[in-house]
Amino acid sequence: MSDVSSDDEKAKYYTQLGKYRMPNKNNYRQHAHCNPLSKISMGYPFSPECINWSLCYPIEFSSSPEDQKANSLLYLNTKTYPGPFTNENYKPISTTNTPKDFYSNPYVSIVDVGCGYGALLENMSSSLEKGSLALGLEIRDKVTNYVGERIKGLRLNTDNKEFNNISVMRSNTMKLLLNFFYKGQLDKLFFCFADPHFKRTNHRKRIINQYLLNEYAYLLKKGGRLYIITDVEELYIWERSMLNQNRCFKELDKIEVEKDIFTGFMKNTNEAKKVIKNKGEMFYSIYERVEPNIKNLSELYDCLDYTKDEKEEKEEKEGDN
């Protein structure tokens, strides 16, 4: 909704004090559980090359007045705000897989997976280094609209001076994360209060598992960090056991965790606030992306042995029947 011309339109989008009306969360509520394993029913970029990031972060890419206007347009990959993809111009990925001019622009280096109502992005915005952009990825259409419209409001209400380095897009990260980013592009990946999927048959829907951890390792640069936090102890134990088995990740000690300013941000997401209100407990860890220490071929085969997971899954299914 960029062109607000009539008085009626103005009243709809702006308060009497001329401030942009922030979206009301109650109008964007949506059933909490989407099935992440169901068929993809949303748009997606064919490859990272197909995303025009300057549409999501216009001021970060240029500060011309035209781009300030663009700051009020939304490209969220939802039904209301289709995505900033140019799949029709799709060309095969270059052999280097990291185009030279890509890293000379600001680029997304922080991803909040399952960002929900987006508080983590807001919390971190003023602390990000220049040129570093954060993106929330959320599977629910309406919730993504809420976050997008809220970020737009925050930008407009600060005269386009703040919140220009955060954005959001709809995606099912369990299926599409590799379509969005290049190898080694990311510095930080957040998994805050992931859906616990308690039933054993649903454990394969958990967003931290051995298959997906290899994708996360592919996307994180060496020294990059993966953050987990949850109020469900059983899920925390599961996530840590997956991460501890994966040789591309090493857990940081408690002192390092508390030193990281992002720990404070992830203890203050929308879900975290509910936990604090109910006086619940939060369990959290940070893992660093390391070079896997593989000494011989048999160790390599061990790492690549997915049949273990398949066996476990089969046993679980049998146990549930």
Ligand X SMILES: C[S@@+](CC[C@H](N)C(=O)[O-])C[C@H]1O[C@@H](n2cnc3c(N)ncnc32)[C@H](O)[C@@H]1O
User: Does residue 122 belong to the site contacting ligand X (CB under 6 A)?
Assistant: no
Asked if 270 is part of the footprint of ligand X (rule: CB under 6 A), the reply reads yes
* Least distance between ligand X and beta carbon 50 (Å): 19
Cα angle: 83, vertex 170, 125; to 5 degrees? 95
The correct pick among 71, 144, 160, 172 for binding ligand X (CB under 6 A) is: 172
Report the residue number, 36 or 292, with the smaller CB distance to ligand X: 36
CB of 40 to ligand X, least distance (A): 11
Residue 189 in contact with ligand X, rule: CB under 6 A: no
| Residue in 112, 141, 195, 231 annotated catalytic | 195
Binding mask 33-62 for ligand X (x = CB under 6 A): -x-x--------------------------
Closest CA to 284 of 223, 233, 221, 209: 233
Decide: is 140 part of the binding site for ligand X (CB under 6 A).
yes
Residue from the set 163, 193, 249, 262 that interacts with ligand X by CB under 6 A: 193
The answer to whether the beta carbons of residues 167 and 124 sit under 8 Å apart is no
Based on CB atoms, which residue is closest to ligand X, 61 or 163? 163
How far apart, in whole angstroms, are the C-alpha atoms of residue 47 and residue 318? 38
Residues 49 and 99: their CA atoms lie apart, in Å, by 9
Nearest to 103 by CA among 217, 189, 221: 221
DSSP secondary structure string, 36-103?
TTSPP-S---SSGGGB-GGGTSHHHH---HHHHHHTT----SSSSS--SB-GGG--PPPTTSS-TTTT
The residue count for binding ligand X (CB under 6 A) is 22
Tell which one of 269, 286, 287, 289 touches ligand X (CB under 6 A).
Answer: 269
Residues 62-101 that bind ligand X (CB under 6 A): none
Token output for 283: 């369990």
Comparing CA positions, the residue from 106, 87, 79, 71 lying closest to residue 170 is 79
Structure-block tokens of residue 30 = 């949506």
Q: 195 to 234, contacts with ligand X by CB under 6 A?
A: 195, 207
Residue 248 CB, shortest distance to ligand X, in Å, is 21
- Minimum gap (Å) between residue 267 Cβ and ligand X: 10
Angle between helix axes 233-245 and 210-219 (nearest 10 degrees) is 60
* Residue 187 known to be catalytic: no
What residues line the site for ligand X (CB under 6 A)?
34, 36, 114-116, 137-140, 143, 171-174, 192-195, 207, 269-271
- Residues belonging to the active site: 195
